[in-house]
Chains A and B, each alone.
Chain A
Amino acid sequence: MVARGQPGALTPDGDVFHTSRQAVTDFSATLAAEMKPAPFRYVAARSLEQALALKAEHGDEARFLAGGQSLVPTMNFRLTQPAMLIDINPLKEFAGMRRNGADRLHIGALTRYRSLERDPATARELPLIGEALPHIAHPQIRNRGTIGGNLAHADPASEMPAIVLTLGGKLRAQSVRGERWIEAADFFVGALTTALAPDEMLMELELPVAQPRSGACFMELARRRGDFAIIGVACTVRLDAEGRCSEARIGLCNAGDTPVVVAAAGDCLVGTRVERPQIDEAAAIVQRSIEPGGNVHASKEYQRHIAGVLTARALACANERAGREH
């Protein structure tokens, strides 16, 4: 950032500029003029109607600003240069959790991770999310980051898309044209790409609540606490009255261009008492099915290996938890 001719920079002769108080103030003003994100128009939404009307007018040129914890870094690098930011943080009515009947929960898109962490209902009703929350970045990020922003960002390495997909959730989108519900299986269409139309806003998601005789487990491996997962695995296991598996689902993050559920791996457990051979078979199916991309932290082969290891561990754990719920 320090350019030639600025205080603290070297002159062509190698002398250091003398730094006076005035020079520091001038330098600060210069730095302030060199702001990192490209120019954009900022609108703090006063109502949902206004936010949706602006999005309908500007389409892909406009982005909704929720927590900003994924969007703003990309703007600071100028990888993203929206012409307009529609700040939806003032629309506080779209935050919070509410029960819908005996077995469904709705989470508003503006719900911040920290409020999910603080709500005892999260661990009780949505144990998969409760277990994944500490893995999601760091406390400061979770203080701002929202569940809707995370899902709309659709990073395949992120935890929440894989969890919502594993749980078979539904997402509600709204625009000036009306609203629609989108199945999680249809929502994540590519890396950082969702089924949302350019004029749509993600409003809330609906998830099934944990049922009796069911268990869930989330595990991930990252280089450091809070880093993106090398591989993350979400498992749910449901047992019948005899203790046999009646349903099992296994989802993964960072195992392809989108979050994935390996249906065949879950299906091979149905009707069995989940023991070592079945668990190993499911893990092997996961390893064969995924297409991890590999990166500087882990090769594709290593990701595949870890996916098998974590699948086996998470399945065994979810199965044991389901058994305890008898």
Chain B
Amino acid sequence: MSTDTHDITVTVNGTRYQRQVDARMLLSDFLRHDLLLAGTHVGCEHGVCGACTVIFDGAAVRSCLMFAAQADGHAITTVEGLAADGERLHPLQEAMRDCHGLQCGYCTPGVLMTMKAFLDETPRPDEAQIREALSGNLCRCTGYQHIVEAVALAAERLRS
């Protein structure tokens, strides 16, 4: 079967990219291998682990369950776009460091992007809400306790 390619224009972290992609190119692979934004991690590739979570038109989504061709004309934020100026960490990243919210770090980009979208929508979360919002991100190191503390701390700092 001949290759089906598509010309797409996609805005990632505020930068417009024009690329030609195969129809079957997953959005996660496009970000990592085509745009070389390898901060988006790929774990299970079937929508269970949450490592590949990015923000697509304002909503946290699994980038392994979308095709790059579907991103044509849309805006995406990846973990590389989280720290506004590249110098200072985002409050979520700072809180993750302060609370020891990561060990191996593999799940961390997905956790950060999920929690960014969550806090944008829920600036005063209680612990149960944080745990519910985190339920789609697997972490095998931390036992989640420190991630929950980090998100609560970040929410507090973002409000003040």
Say yes or no: B132 contacts A225, CB within 8 Å: yes
With contacts A76-B46, A144-B66 taken as known, whether A35 is within 8 angstroms of B22 at the C-beta atoms is: yes
Say yes or no: B24 contacts A38, CB within 8 Å: yes
A-facing residues in B53-78 (Cβ within 8 Å): 53, 56, 59-62, 64-67, 69-70, 72
With contacts A69-B47, A143-B60, A226-B135 taken as known, whether A39 is within 8 angstroms of B3 at the C-beta atoms is: yes
| A73 CA to B46 CA, complexed, in Å | 4
Say yes or no: A140 contacts B24, CB within 8 Å: no
Give chain A residues whose Cβ lies under 8 Å from the Cβ of B136.
137-141, 226
Give chain B residues whose Cβ lies under 8 Å from the Cβ of A134.
132
Give chain B residues whose Cβ lies under 8 Å from the Cβ of A198.
none
Look across to chain A and name the residue whose beta carbon is closest to the beta carbon of B52.
Answer: A140
Say yes or no: A32 contacts B135, CB within 8 Å: no
Interface hit among A2-10, A40-48, A183-191, A203-211: A40-48
| A65 CA to B45 CA, complexed, in Å | 18
Give chain B residues whose Cβ lies under 8 Å from the Cβ of A114.
59
Contact of B118 among A36, A39, A139 (CB under 8 A): A139
Give chain B residues whose Cβ lies under 8 Å from the Cβ of A44.
69-70, 72
With contacts A73-B46, A143-B60, A143-B61 taken as known, whether A40 is within 8 angstroms of B53 at the C-beta atoms is: no
**Minimum C-beta distance from B72 to chain A (A):** 7
Contact of A141 among B1, B6, B62, B67 (CB under 8 A): B62
**CB-based closest 5 A-B pairs:** A138-B136, A42-B23, A73-B46, A32-B33, A143-B59
Chain A interface extent, by class: 35 or more
Give chain A residues whose Cβ lies under 8 Å from the Cβ of B53.
140
| A42 CA to B24 CA, complexed, in Å | 8
| A31 CA to B36 CA, complexed, in Å | 12
Residues of B within 8 A of A (CB): 1, 3-4, 6, 22-26, 29, 32-34, 36, 45-47, 50, 53, 56, 59-62, 64-67, 69-70, 72, 114, 118, 132-133, 135-137
Contact of B114 among A29, A39, A140 (CB under 8 A): A140
Interface SS of B by simple majority = mixed
Give chain A residues whose Cβ lies under 8 Å from the Cβ of B132.
134, 139, 225
**Minimum C-beta distance from B5 to chain A (A):** 9
Look across to chain B and name the residue whose beta carbon is closest to the beta carbon of A28.
Answer: B33
Give chain A residues whose Cβ lies under 8 Å from the Cβ of B25.
32, 35
**Minimum C-beta distance from B143 to chain A (A):** 14
**Minimum C-beta distance from B37 to chain A (A):** 11
| A94 CA to B30 CA, complexed, in Å | 29
**Minimum C-beta distance from B144 to chain A (A):** 12
Look across to chain B and name the residue whose beta carbon is closest to the beta carbon of A142.
Answer: B136
A-B contact pairs, 11 of them (CB 8 A): A69-B62, A72-B65, A73-B65, A76-B46, A77-B46, A83-B1, A87-B70, A138-B50, A139-B60, A143-B56, A144-B65
| A69 CA to B22 CA, complexed, in Å | 20
**Minimum C-beta distance from A16 to chain B (A):** 20
Contact of A31 among B33, B45, B59, B65 (CB under 8 A): B33
Is A89 among interface residues, defined by CB-CB distance under 8 A?
A: yes
With contacts A141-B136, A143-B59 taken as known, whether A76 is within 8 angstroms of B64 at the C-beta atoms is: yes
Give chain A residues whose Cβ lies under 8 Å from the Cβ of B72.
44
Give chain A residues whose Cβ lies under 8 Å from the Cβ of B47.
69, 72-73, 137, 140-141
- Centre residue among B25, B61, B65, B132 by max chain A CB count within 10 A: B65
